[in-house]
Amino acid sequence: MAVDFIVKRNDQPLPDEQREQVLAAPGFGKHFTDHMAVVSWSSTDGWHDAQVRPYGPLLLDPSAAVLHYAQEIFEGLKAYRHDDGSVWAFRPEANAERFRRSATRLALPLMDVEDFVAAIRTLVETDLAWVPSGGETSLYLRPFMFASEAFLGVRPANEVTFCVIASPAGAYFAGGLKPVSIWLSSEYTRAAPGGTGAAKCGGNYAASLLPILEAQAHGCDQVCFLDAVEKRWVEELGGMNLYFVMDDGSIVTPELTGTILEGVTRSSILQIAADLGQTVTERRISIQEWREGAASGRITEVFACGTAAVVTPVGRLASAEGDVVTGDGTTGPVTAAVRTALLDIQYGRTPDTRGWLTRLA
Ligand SMILES: *Cc1c(COP(=O)(O)O)cnc(C)c1O
């Protein structure tokens, strides 16, 4: 079903001068555009009342199911302004498809791919002046869906709200690309077989906050989670997938087991790295292999990837059993090449041979 969006313009948008100030140093996730997209769903009426309307608080009943049982999913993607001023999304259908898979797992209604993309397009068209230009800037788009029904019984909600909000984003690494350090969580896991690890839901993130505090207490930036059963296989970080560069020109990423979130960046890199002449393998990689490979030089680079930070080199792996460091504290050549190749596609600096870009405005 294709929903038609009604646009209700904000009659008090942020003045041009203030918006320009925000766009000059947007940071990440701090400032929001003048509008948001909202679509309602009910079990009786399906998707209805699609709007782009002024950005502002949502009215929620205190008994809204999401506040109690976390029936919620989200997505994250970016709109990129090219040199000619046009604005593009990178593989938005992949986010839309993943949103449908997440919705299935969280017993939320499915939204058509075309409606998901239409919500993004209508919002970006309306807030076009908010898409920054220059450098590695973008407009970060956050679609999400939650159980808005006022009801404390435990069952899938009969009323659901879908929204898209947008936030201008600067270069993630303002001070240049610097390897991050990772804490290996031995006590906590992110996802268990049969759980929600492959769904992009807020609950997974809630469960990762305490391990993140633990990582920070050990002087690390991020957490790496192992599989929940054997506590042996490397899965991913709280919000990014991992890649390992081997000394024989191959690169390895943990295979999807049902507990790893399938990143759009991860799957794009599978293809991009092959273009760069790398042999790419999806397989299980143990924490011993990481430790020993980093120490012996068999593993030459480690990087994390995701929409927000694109490709991030990983330097130190810290754990209760001691530290190992990959590389020399700078960004390795394969990490840098993959990162540049991906950004060149996203910013239209290289031909989009796979049809990954969708023009939004
Ligand atoms: C969103 C997310 C990623 C990265 O996915 P991208 O589509 O590449 O942004 C990786 N892991 C988790 C747990 C995530 O939620």
Domain boundaries, the chain: 6-169, 180-346
Strands (DSSP E) contained in 216-277 are: 222-226, 234-237, 241-246, 250-253
Please give the distance, rounded to the nearest whole angstrom, from the Cα atom of residue 260 to the centre of ligand 1. Answer: 9
Percent of the chain with pLDDT over 70: 99
Query: Which of 73, 209, 241, 259 to probe ligand 1 with, by most ligand atoms within 8 A of CB?
Result: 241
Residue pLDDT, tens place only, 76-85: 999 999 999 9
Query: Which of 93, 97, 200, 269 to probe ligand 1 with, by most ligand atoms within 8 A of CB?
Result: 200
Quick one: which of 314, 305, 322, 210 has its CA closest to 261?
305
What distances in angstroms separate CA 70 from CA 65, 156, 170, 271, one per listed residue? 7, 11, 30, 35
Q: Is the pLDDT at 45 greater than 90, yes or no?
A: yes
Q: Is the pLDDT at 272 greater than 80, yes or no?
A: yes
Residue nearest to atom 5 of ligand 1 (CA): 263
The predicted pLDDT at position 294 comes to 95
Residues for the chain: how many in total?
A: 361
Quick one: which of 244, 235, 220 has its CA closest to 301?
244
Given this chain, do its domains 6-169 and 180-346 carry the same CATH topology?
no
Residue nearest to atom 15 of ligand 1 (CA): 239
Atom number, ligand 1, closest to the C-alpha of residue 265:
8
CA 361 to chain centre: 22
Asked if 70 and 195 touch (Cβ cutoff 8 Å), the reply is: no
| Residues whose beta carbon lies within 6 Å of some atom of ligand 1 | 76, 200, 236, 239-241, 261, 263-266, 306-307
The predicted pLDDT at position 174 comes to 63
- The strand pair at 46-54 and 35-42 is best described as antiparallel
Atom number, ligand 1, closest to the C-alpha of residue 197:
13
The predicted pLDDT at position 4 comes to 92
Look up the pTM and report it: 0.97
Q: Is the pLDDT at 1 greater than 60, yes or no?
A: no
The predicted pLDDT at position 135 comes to 85
Please give the distance, rounded to the nearest whole angstrom, from the Cα atom of residue 185 to the centre of ligand 1. Answer: 18
In this structure, the number of other CB atoms found within 10 A of the CB of residue 178 comes to 13
Gyration radius of the chain's alpha carbons: 21
Residue nearest to atom 14 of ligand 1 (CA): 239
Residue nearest to atom 13 of ligand 1 (CA): 239
Asked if 223 and 214 touch (Cβ cutoff 8 Å), the reply is: yes
Beta bridge partners of 314: 180, 302
Please give the distance, rounded to the nearest whole angstrom, from the Cα atom of residue 264 to the centre of ligand 1. Answer: 7
Q: Is the pLDDT at 173 greater than 90, yes or no?
A: no
Residue nearest to atom 10 of ligand 1 (CA): 240
Q: Is the pLDDT at 221 greater than 60, yes or no?
A: yes
Query: The domain 6-169: what is its CATH number?
Result: 3.30.470.10
Q: Is the pLDDT at 148 greater than 70, yes or no?
A: yes
CA 47 to chain centre: 25
The predicted pLDDT at position 328 comes to 87
- For range 157-169, the mean pLDDT: 98
Asked if 318 and 304 touch (Cβ cutoff 8 Å), the reply is: no
Residue nearest to atom 2 of ligand 1 (CA): 239
Percent of the chain with pLDDT over 90: 94
Atom number, ligand 1, closest to the C-alpha of residue 200:
15
Of the pLDDT bands very low, low, confident and very high (cuts 50, 70, 90), residue 175 is low
Asked if 138 and 80 touch (Cβ cutoff 8 Å), the reply is: yes
Return d(Cα 256, Cα 277) in angstroms, integer: 23
The predicted pLDDT at position 171 comes to 81
Please give the distance, rounded to the nearest whole angstrom, from the Cα atom of residue 58 to the centre of ligand 1. Answer: 26
Atom number, ligand 1, closest to the C-alpha of residue 204:
13
Of the pLDDT bands very low, low, confident and very high (cuts 50, 70, 90), residue 330 is confident
| CATH 3.20.10.10 given to domain 180-346 | yes
Q: Torsion angle of alpha carbons 142, 147, 148, 149, nearest 10°?
A: 170
Return d(Cα 237, Cα 215) in angstroms, integer: 11
Please give the distance, rounded to the nearest whole angstrom, from the Cα atom of residue 236 to the centre of ligand 1. Answer: 9
Q: Is the dihedral of CA 62, 64, 65, 71 positive or negative?
A: negative
DSSP secondary structure code for residue 310 in this structure: E
Asked if 290 and 298 touch (Cβ cutoff 8 Å), the reply is: no
Atom number, ligand 1, closest to the C-alpha of residue 240:
10
Helix, strand or coil for residue 38? strand
CA 205 to chain centre: 12
Q: What are phi and psi of 256, to 5 degrees?
A: -75, 125
